[in-house]
Amino acid sequence: MRFAPSPAEILHDFRADENLLVDARGVCMNFKMPTERIDNLKEYAIKFLKRKIKYKKFEVLKDVDFRVPRGESLALIGRNGAGKSTLLKIISGIIRPTSGIVLTKGNVVPLLKLGAGFDYNASGKENIFLNGAMMGFSHREMQQKYDSIVEFSELAEFINAPLKTYSSGMVSRLGFAIAVDVNPDLMLVDEVLGVGDIPFRKKCADKIEELKKTGTTFIVVSHSMSQIMTLCQKGIYLENGMIKMQGDIKTVANAYLADCKALEEAAAKKS
Amino acid sequence: MASQTKKNNTFVLNIRSFFSRFRRGTITLVSLVVKSVKNQYRRSALGILWTVLNPLLNMLVMAFVFSSIFGRSGIDMDYPVYVLSGNIVFSLMSAATTNAMTSIVSNYDLLYKTRVPYSVFPLAQVFTAVVNFLFSLIALVAVMLIRIPNGVTFHWSMLMVFVPWLPAMLLFSMGIAFFLCTVYVRFRDIKHIYSVVIRLWMYLTPVFYSLSSLKLGDTAMQIMELNPMLHYLNYFRDVICGVIPDWKANAICYGVGLTSFFVGWILFRLSRNRFILHI
């Protein structure tokens, strides 16, 4: 059996290596879900006494190991339900894995849903400050960012109107503008890059490119292969919660596309 | 190897995060409190003035209804001041806990998509109740000013409402808030149960009557004394009337407050990793 380093040793090595942003080892995530949803006491008591609460175990992630060095953006690809989004949430610290070690360094900004935490009764302006607070910026710090956020989102005319009067595109634009105005070390992106109309998308792509130049590393979940190819250097192909392949983005993406094609053909044959 | 990693404890760490998480938490807490105070009276003509008017009007109703039903026997305080003080203290606790109960579930979106510490949500509701309470104090002072001709006097000991009374009351409410929001994630019935409990609790607390007027026996009196709100309320009324509470009253308020806080907090800490499974 291989000698397994203790968490303390892993932590020490991780601290020593300045260039390593993420170190994940043996990450497992299990959900133990009751087969029926029980959310009231009466049912719970009855089922508990009858010992009828059955749990079904879902293994969302199994022994996932990977490292992300600074400047080497990573793409997570795989079919729906492969565990990509769960992995992102674990890296960002939103949920804890069932077991395993996840170490991150620097300022990590999760961008999992645009406009998470927006208050639709408040104005756009109030929401900028509220959302900034949730990313850890004080009112004063947000004041300095405010102008550039409004300018980027192109919402200057509507910024004092309540958010519920905005179109969904406008909400996304505001969310995106706030999120990218932070210069993080590591940004975790879950399928949110294709928002707004075509000119705005171009603007987003430029902004991402700019962030990349200033040293932000990305971990991206996306189904748009062209976007991934331009943004990322490395890829991880997840299948049923396990890493099927990891390495250079082109190889991994081609393997995934080949698998998808094979599936398509198999489906075509059946019908 | 796989079976070995399963035995390892989970170990998740962002090297910079201890300070930044705390900072993020406090900033978020402040902005959530500001947001919910603003939202209460958004689009109402009188706006924030309602936080003062509301307890005042409530007091008028209660003073009118209860002074004629229960009589004022056994109350040596000015009756409107008595009712209002009881009312604002009890609604501080009940608003804090009732609103905090649903906070984890209703902020599901934030919880799951941003990296805010979970405890921020119940705490934001507790502090919103505190802000409202501070506004209500203005109402109390106003009533006391109006009642000066009826013999109400101001005492310096009133400042003891802020320290040491308020922190003890806060610890007590936070404990219950943590407990309730944890249980609510798992069992939604608690909302309905608690609304009955809080009503019963209010009637068992001498908010608008006095305990002595009930003419209870010794055992019944001892049972009534188990109600922590009774002690918080007595403490509050004492300092308003210029009586400085003895060490025993302080010990009870802080003892109960700290116990409640730690029990609630520990339960919350132990269950929070499973919140997302049940929401």
Look up the CATH number of the domain holding residue A40.
3.40.50.300
Provide the number of CB pairs (under 8 Å) joining chain A to chain B: 143
Residue B75 has pLDDT above 90, yes or no: no
CB contact under 8 A, B17 and A135: no
Residue-wise pLDDT tens digits, A14-46:
888 888 999 999 899 888 776 666 777 777 777
In this predicted structure, the answer to whether residue A130 has a pLDDT above a threshold of 50 is yes
Mean pLDDT of B23-40: 88
Number of domains in chain A: 1
Q: Which residues of A touch B4 (CB under 8 A)?
A: 1, 4
Shortest CA gap A66–chain B (Å): 14
Dist. CA A257–CA A78, nearest whole Å: 10
Position A194 scores a pLDDT of: 64
Residue B150 forms contact with A (CB below 8 Å): no
Q: Is residue A139 part of a domain?
A: no
Helix (H) or strand (E) holding B233: helix B228-240
Chain B residue nearest residue A116, CA to CA: B110
pLDDT band at B183 (very low <50, low <70, confident <90, very high): very high
pLDDT at B67: 74
Distance of residue B269 Cα from the nearest chain A Cα, in angstroms: 13
Inspect the interface and report whether the beta carbons of B113 and A116 lie closer than 8 Å: yes
Which range (A167-176, B47-56, B203-212) has the least confidence?
A: B47-56
pLDDT score recorded for residue B4: 40
B190 close contact with A: CB closer than 8 A: yes
Residue B179: pLDDT over 80? yes
- How much is the pTM? 0.87
User: pLDDT tens, B146-171?
Assistant: 989 988 999 999 999 998 999 999 99
A74 belongs to a structural domain: yes
Whether the pLDDT of residue B3 is over 70: the answer is no
Contact state of B14 with A41 under an 8 Å Cβ cutoff: no
What's the pLDDT tens digit per position in B99-124?
999 999 998 888 887 878 889 999 99
Q: Is residue A58 in some structural domain?
A: yes
User: What pLDDT is recorded for position A12?
Assistant: 85
Pick the residue from chain A with its C-alpha nearest to B16: A106
Instruction: Give the model's pLDDT for residue A3.
Output: 64
Lowest mean pLDDT among A129-138, A259-268, B174-183: A129-138
> Within a domain: residue A160?
no
Specify if A248 maps to a domain: yes
Cα nearest neighbour of A94 on chain B: B115
Residue B211 has pLDDT above 90, yes or no: no
Instruction: Taking each helix axis as running N to C, give the angle between helix A124-134 and helix A139-153, from 0 to 180 degrees, rounded to the nearest 10.
Output: 120
**Pairwise pLDDT comparison (A129 vs B75), residue with the higher score:** A129
Is pLDDT above 70 for B222? yes
Per the DSSP assignment, residues forming a β-bridge with A217 are A186
Q: Look at A113 and B186 and tell me if their CB atoms are within 8 Å.
A: no
Percentage of chain B beyond pLDDT 70 is 95
Domain enclosing residue B235, as ranges: 2-278
State residue A48's pLDDT score: 76
Whether B199 shows a pLDDT value over 90: the answer reads yes
Q: Enumerate residues 6+ apart whose C-beta is below 8 A from A242.
A: A61, A62, A63, A64
Number of domains in chain B: 1
User: What are the start-end ranges of the E strands in chain A?
Assistant: 20-34, 55-69, 74-78, 99-104, 108-111, 186-190, 217-221, 234-239, 242-248
CA distance A264 to chain B (A): 33
Nearest by CB: A93 against B38, B115, B188 = B115
In chain B, the residue whose alpha carbon lies closest to the alpha carbon of A136 is: B24
Q: Which residues of A touch B12 (CB under 8 A)?
A: 90, 93, 96-97, 101-103
* pLDDT given for residue B1 in this prediction: 36
Judged by a CB distance cut-off of 8 A, whether residue B115 touches chain A is yes
* A217-226 pLDDT tens trace: 999 998 888 8
Hey, is the C-beta of B110 within 8 angstroms of any chain A C-beta?
Answer: yes
pLDDT at B259 over 80: yes
Q: Percent of chain B having pLDDT more than 90?
A: 56
Cα Rg of chain B, angstroms: 21
Tokens of B48: 């924030």
| Of residues B9 and B74, more confidently modeled | B74
Q: Do B38 and A108 touch (CB under 8 A)?
A: no
Give per-residue pLDDT as tens, A93-104.
888 888 888 998
The residue of A39, A60, A243 whose CB has the most chain B CBs within 10 angstroms, and thus the best one to mutate to test that interface, is: A39
Contact residues, B window 28-67, toward A, CB-based 8 Å cutoff:
28, 30-32, 35, 38-39, 42
pLDDT recorded at residue B9: 62
Query: Which chain A residues contact residue B115 at CB under 8 A?
Result: 92-94, 108, 110
CB–CB contact B15 A103 (8 Å): yes
**Range from A80-94, A105-119, B32-46, B179-193 that averages highest in pLDDT:** B179-193
Share of chain A above pLDDT 70, in %: 94
Q: Compute the distance between CA of residue A22 and CA of residue B142 in angstroms, rounded to an integer.
A: 59
**Distance between CA atoms of B56 and A88, rounded to whole angstroms?**
51
ipTM (interface pTM): 0.82
Contact A94 B112 (CB under 8 A): yes
Residues of A in contact with B6 (CB under 8 A): 28, 99
Asked if the structure places residue A138 within a domain, the reply is: no
Chain A nearest C-alpha distance from B196 (Å):
16
In a domain, A187, yes or no: no
Collapsing DSSP states into helix, strand and coil, what is residue A60?
Answer: strand
Query: Which pLDDT band, with edges at 50, 70 and 90, does B260 fall under?
Result: very high
Give me the pLDDT at residue A155, please: 92
Nearest CA in chain A to B43: A121
Nearest CB partner across the interface for B188, out of A32, A39, A96: A39
Q: Long-range CB contacts (< 8 A, 24+ apart) of A164-172?
A: A164/A120, A164/A121, A166/A124, A169/A195, A169/A196, A169/A197, A169/A200, A171/A114, A171/A115, A171/A118, A172/A114, A172/A115, A172/A196
Which pLDDT does position B23 carry in this prediction?
Answer: 84
pLDDT of residue A230: 87
Q: Which two tokens stand for residue B47?
A: 């706006």
Q: Are residues B114 and A110, on separate chains, in Cβ contact within 8 Å?
A: yes
**Residues A11, B278: C-beta atoms closer than 8 Å:** no
A169 assigned to some structural domain? no
Which domain range does residue A24 map to?
7-107+228-270
Cβ contacts of A150 within 8 Å, gap of 6 or more: A128, A156, A159, A177
Residue A133, pLDDT above cutoff 90: no
| Partners of A221 in the β-ladder | A76, A190
Look at residue B17 in the predicted model and tell me its pLDDT. 64
B89 pLDDT above the threshold of 90: yes
Chain B residues lying within 8 Å of A138, measured CB to CB: 27
Once rounded to an integer, what is the mean pLDDT over residues B263-276?
90
